Structure 1
Amino acid sequence: MNRTTVAVLAAALLLATGCGSSTDDKPAAQPSASATPSANPLVEFTNAVNHAGLESYETGIPAFQELEVFPPQWCKALDEGHSVEWMLGDGGLYPIGQEWGTKKPDAYQLVVFGVRAYCPKHLASVTDELKASGVY
């Protein structure tokens, strides 16, 4: 991972978590059971990709500025009633860049990460589709 990517990720995590804590802080409220996006879906998505150890990114994860454009587009397509297969096929939303690519199994995992972070209301239908097709 290059230094710019690490610096951007570190800055995003600091902003999302705060730079310190106090003993006077109240405990964080428990998330509700409703499917609402996290306060900072980019941080959630970035963390998931970083910790996944995807085979496609063994030599380095693509710059998150390139990768982060996909989840909002996936959510829009799902809102319009499209399937994961359509998004990664005819929909033209396959996670690939000028100098990087993603193997199909990892692309499915990226969609799950993106949907979980950006539009969790679609998570069950996405995972059901992927399970039904045998890829998840």
Structure 2
Amino acid sequence: MHRTATLFALLVLVGAAGCGSSRDDDKPAAEPSASATQSANPLVEFTSAVDDAHLQSYETGIPAYQELSAFPPQWCRALDEGHSVEWMLGDGGLYPIGQDWGTKKPDAYQLVLLGTRSFCPKHVSAVTDELKALGVY
């Protein structure tokens, strides 16, 4: 129930952010670009994917999206810098954990993949290859 309410609140906030825009009614609506249709909001895509994944670590509820969503951009920066998933979840200090929530290691690997798909899809292949080499994908 908590994760549904969180996801609903997030979607309401995202929807409200889109309200209030205006355009000249005499002009035709612009065609959406390919990049705009892929994922207009990686946060919504990520939180939805986490909800759909039904991770064991979050059986009693997904952590607040503000806390959890802080990780994917950091993972993307680390991947841009050439770091591995193992480094991120170890020495890199980017293990998905909060003050009152944690993540089991198999779920942490899954989160990195979900975050990469949503926030920096150019690294999905490298992350998938590493997870396969580790035997966790």
Amino acid at match of 2:136: V
Give the conservation status (yes or no) of the 8 Å contact 1:5–1:63.
yes
Deviations along 1:8-56, one digit per CA (max 9) or x if unpaired, are: 22314535898xxxxxxx9x86847xxxx72210000010011110000
Q: Whole-Å Cα distance in 1 between the matches of residues 109 and 7 of structure 2?
A: 24
The higher radius of gyration belongs to: 2
- Tell me the equivalent position of 1:118: 119
Q: Whole-Å Cα distance in 2 between the matches of residues 61 and 2 of structure 1?
A: 5
SS at match of 2:129: helix
How much is the aligned-residue C-alpha RMSD, in angstroms?
A: 2.6
Q: Whole-Å Cα distance in 2 between the matches of residues 16 and 116 of structure 1?
A: 23
Judged with a 3 Å threshold, the aligned counterparts in structure 2 of structure 1 residues 51 and 98 are, in CA distance, closer, same or farther, namely: same
Give the conservation status (yes or no) of the 8 Å contact 1:16–1:40.
no
| Count of paired positions | 125
Deviations along 1:44-96, one digit per CA (max 9) or x if unpaired, are: 00100111100000001000010000000000000000000000000000000
Q: Whole-Å Cα distance in 2 between the matches of residues 97 and 135 of structure 1?
A: 23
Judged with a 3 Å threshold, the aligned counterparts in structure 2 of structure 1 residues 2 and 47 are, in CA distance, closer, same or farther, namely: closer
Percent identical pairs in the alignment equals 68
Give the conservation status (yes or no) of the 8 Å contact 2:116–2:124.
yes
Question: Is the helix fraction higher in 1 or 2?
Answer: 2
* TM-score, with structure 2 as normaliser: 0.80
- Tell me the equivalent position of 1:103: 104
Higher relative contact order (CA 8 A, sep 6+): 1
Give the conservation status (yes or no) of the 8 Å contact 2:56–2:107.
yes
